[in-house]
Amino acid sequence: MEVCCQLPVLPLDRPVPQHVLSRRGAISFSSSSALFGCPNPRQLSQRRGAISYDSSDQTALYIRMLANSEIEVSVSARNVRRLLSFQRYLRSSRFFRGITVPNSSNILDDDYNGQAKCMLEKVGNWNFDIFLFDRLTNGNSLVSLTFHLFNLHGLIEHFQLDTMKLRRFLVMVQEDYHSQNPYHNAVHAADVTQAMHCYLKEPKLSESLTPWDVLLSLIAAATHDLDHPGVNQPFLIKTNHYLATLYKNTSVLENHHWRSAVGLLRESGLFAHMSLENRQLMESQIGDLILATDISQQNEYLSMFRSHLDRGDLCLEDANHRHFILQMALKCADICNPCRTWELSKQWSEKVTEEFFHQGDIEKKYHLGVSPLCDRQTETIANIQIGFMTYLVEPLFAEWARFSNTRLSQTMLGHLGLNKASWKGVQREQSGGGEDADPAFEEMDSDILPQEPRLS
């Protein structure tokens, strides 16, 4: 079964109108993609996730994902090729290098596999080292960890999932992250998924969540940055990228991550045995979770969270309230790096800053105007991290601790305080005594900055 939408797609060899290519002050859509190493639109039309590219107006149409109903189709030669391609993929994928394959020089030895299994036994520990786990699994941390969590939470049995389809889905998800991104890659997705698991274990949640809630949470965590291009939304908007046009400059990346996830869910057939109504509900609710990670909506979600906590009216027997808490949990998981141990947090800080600086290098090269936090000549990791912790992380985790005042919450706040102090020490060494947070955060639009945290 394959879902499609009967939409015309113009030939890809049709020339792009000259007025599009020569618009003043704008980079053409295809060159916008090329700026940060993404496939050109013709390549995107053949990617997994069912993106079709209409060269007449440079607009991407998500064929399978935007279909309102499912259409039965016969097994075509294309589907057969896809199946055969997957069989070849099983033999060559990095994930399966841990299984004995003749004539393979990239097989993980038993010692590495054993260490990875030992780590999974402690997957609920907050000091879980995702970097080490990724090395032990030969770069397949997202597949290995998420499959283990599905099994650990009993989701495979409860939802009668085909384990081969589940592995296929997770492999496709992992491969659709960009490994060349310093930060927004499959390892980050695995880290967020592990953090989400830790939150799902918290007493208030574990006593209230249904298997459905857990299923949505893990899928959303694993796919929340799917196909991230390594640049932010303002970059996509000012370069007139087709995704910005498609989503009308609103939650551009988050909408793309969600739609890409839906495309892979449908292509894998993981939930084909469910009713259409349940599948549509799943896709919609996964979207609600992923869209909540849009940092430009931080203040809105935080204000709602505070209001609920002030009134004391959160009722986790209410499905809507549980869904809202899962949104807040995913937001926490997404930006929890400063709440990890210094050894882990520092690595993440260096990676995300390098991604910022890479975007800034591109903006300088093409005279686009360097975005805040992206100029390696004027910014430092310490300044960026202090600002990030002060304006975004501390307010969110202070409120999460009000909701779930547990040992884990106190541990996260403790690491956050120590890491901020460490970065301030680095900052003082670099600036000779200055202790101010990065002014770039203060210059950002006030509506995306949360209020100061309540520590009482």
- Binding-site residue ranges: 184-188, 224-225, 334, 385
Residues 6+ away with beta carbon under 8 Å from 1: 70, 72, 73, 269, 272
> Dihedral, CA atoms, 90, 91, 93, 95, nearest 10 degrees?
80
Torsion of Cα atoms, 223 then 229 then 234 then 235, to 10° = 180
Cα separation, 266 vs 262, whole angstroms: 6
Among 251, 325, 249, which residue's Cα sits nearest to residue 294? 251
Is 184 catalytic? The answer is yes
Task: Please enumerate, by residue number, every residue annotated as part of a binding site for AMP.
Answer: 184-188, 225, 334, 385
In the annotated binding site for Zn(2+), the residues are: 188, 224-225, 334
Please tell me which residue in 153, 178, 184, 358 is annotated as part of the active site. 184
Give the whole-angstrom CA distance, residue 79 versus residue 84: 9
Q: What are phi and psi of 226, to 5 degrees?
A: -55, 130
Orientation angle between helical segments 252-268 and 163-175, nearest 10 degrees? 150
Cα torsion at 50, 55, 60, 63 (round to 10°)?
-40
Q: Tell the residue number behind the tokens 């941390």, with chain if given.
A: 141
- CA distance linking residue 370 with residue 265, whole number of Å: 37
> What residues are annotated to the active site?
184
